[in-house]
Amino acid sequence: MTQLMNSEKASEITKRPYRKGNPLTGAEKQKAAIARKRITHKELKVFIEPETKDLLLDICAKNGLTQSELVSKLIEQEAKK
């Protein structure tokens, strides 16, 4: 009997309100991250063949770099030549 009373009381108690506003959705978080990155970086969109993309991913995995880091590094090397 006491369990029933405890469960009734628990359902009557409301949760404490979230004081920092509504949490952001995944899409909103991604937009915010891109907006922060655009302050210091420029966007580059390219289309490459799937085989070339696979090669890029292999090189990145071997060197422990992101695709962005690798492309930046390659551009800098070509600019020095």
Cβ 70 vs Cβ 63: under 8 Å: yes
Res 2: pLDDT: 53
Q: Is the dihedral of CA 7, 11, 14, 20 positive or negative?
A: positive
Res 6: pLDDT: 59
Tokens for 3? 């369990």
Res 36: pLDDT: 94
Res 71: pLDDT: 95
Res 44: pLDDT: 92
Nearest 5 degrees, angle CA 36-CA 39-CA 41?
A: 100
State the 10-residue block means of pLDDT for the chain, 81 residues long: 57 73 88 93 94 97 95 96 90
Q: Quickly list H helices, the chain.
A: 2-12, 26-40, 50-63, 67-80
What is the C-alpha separation between 24 and 37, in angstroms, rounded? 18
